[in-house]
């Protein structure tokens, strides 16, 4: 074998564990799920499986509970995504300052992500927030009492449960902060100095120079936040289990119930592929819109 051939063989050898894992635990289950979505497959009675074609998808179109869960999920995304984008940027701007001990503050902001993951979806964190939201002795109501405000029911209220879970999602804001911070530290100082010499104030420099230059980081965070929001599950499952009164019945929670409570795996598989299609469609729309507002260095604005 030639040197290039040996190098290629070694590369394939090292890649093989990942490739086998991908085929066994990702690609394979996806193919099986796609096939099951066209069947009436009951987990407790697999022998009665029948081919129903697009029946599960037609059923989804007429499912009022599914429509409700989709509305809840989209409302949550409309609250959680902008909150994470804005708060992450504000924290990055503050933590980008050159001051003693700033590295410690950056670590403190990012540490919750290390505990709970980028989406803030660990069971331990959900249980912690369940105590924070507790109406009688929770931390949030204690803070409200210090400023003379009445206590709230938070996740125990049909009106406040989704905003409360959106507030809970900010536990993972350190991920977007870190991406913004990396973009801010790559800003060309000559452009900022030139804007300042031209008389641009701090707000004008931020809006006309800083924000366009870090727009790729904003775009990246927007895509990730959107995907995470549509796949929200752990928070609702642990904290509210869809309540009160199905007011926090997220799409993924309804999918889970069909698969592992009602054992209707065929319908659950169809719901999974519908969520994939929705996520793909929204992501494509974001990519299309990026042409008009994302600036890449060395390219015309919006291209």
Could you give the 3-state DSSP secondary structure of residue 42? Answer: strand
Task: Give residue 25's pLDDT.
Answer: 94
CB atoms near residue 85 (< 10 Å): 17
Task: Give residue 101's pLDDT.
Answer: 84
Q: Is 0.85 topped by the overall pTM?
A: yes
DSSP conformation letters of 165-211: HHHHHGGGHHHHHHHHHHHHTTS-HHHHHHHHHTT--HHHHIIIIIH
Separation between Cα atoms, residue 2 and residue 4, nearest integer Å: 5
CATH for 37-123+151-293?
A: 1.10.3720.10
Residue spans per domain, the chain: 1-29, 37-123+151-293
The DSSP H or E segment spanning 253 is helix 251-260
Separation between Cα atoms, residue 242 and residue 182, nearest integer Å: 37
**One digit per residue, pLDDT tens: the chain, 303 residues?**
688 888 999 999 999 999 999 999 999 999 999 999 999 999 988 888 999 999 999 999 999 999 999 999 999 999 999 999 999 999 999 999 888 888 899 999 998 888 776 555 688 888 889 999 999 999 999 999 999 999 999 999 999 999 999 999 999 999 999 999 999 999 888 888 888 887 888 888 898 889 999 999 999 999 999 999 999 999 889 999 999 999 999 999 999 999 999 999 999 999 999 999 999 999 999 999 998 999 887 665 444
């Amino acid at each position: 074998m030639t040197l290039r051939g040996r190098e290629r063989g070694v590369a394939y050898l090292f890649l093989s564990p990942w490739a086998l894992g991908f085929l066994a635990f990702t690609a394979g289950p996806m193919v099986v799920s796609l096939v099951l979505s066209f069947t009436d497959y009951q987990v407790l009675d697999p022998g009665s499986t029948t081919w129903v074609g697009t029946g599960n998808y037609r059923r989804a179109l007429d499912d009022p509970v599914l429509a409700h869960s989709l509305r809840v999920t989209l409302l949550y995304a409309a609250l959680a995504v902008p909150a994470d984008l804005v708060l992450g940027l504000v924290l990055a701007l503050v933590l980008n300052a050159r001051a003693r001990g700033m590295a410690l503050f950056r670590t403190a902001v990012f540490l919750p992500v290390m505990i709970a993951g980028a989406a803030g979806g660990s069971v331990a964190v959900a249980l912690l927030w369940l105590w924070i939201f507790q109406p009688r002795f929770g931390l949030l109501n204690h803070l409200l009492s210090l400023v003379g405000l009445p206590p709230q029911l938070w996740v125990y209220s049909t009106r406040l449960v989704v905003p409360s879970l959106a507030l809970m999602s900010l536990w993972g804001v350190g991920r977007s902060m870190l991406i913004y911070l990396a973009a801010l530290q790559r800003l060309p100082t000559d452009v900022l100095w030139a804007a300042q010499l031209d008389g641009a104030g701090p707000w004008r420099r931020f809006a006309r120079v800083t924000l366009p230059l870090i727009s790729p980081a904003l775009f990246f965070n927007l895509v990730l936040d959107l995907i995470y929001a549509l796949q929200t599950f752990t928070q609702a499952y642990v904290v509210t289990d869809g309540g009160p009164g199905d007011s926090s019945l997220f799409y993924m929670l309804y999918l889970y119930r069909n698969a592992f409570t009602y054992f209707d795996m065929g319908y659950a598989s169809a719901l999974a592929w519908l969520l994939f299609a929705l996520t793909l469609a929204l992501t494509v729309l974001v990519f299309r819109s990026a042409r008009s507002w994302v600036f890449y260095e060395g390219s015309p604005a919006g291209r």
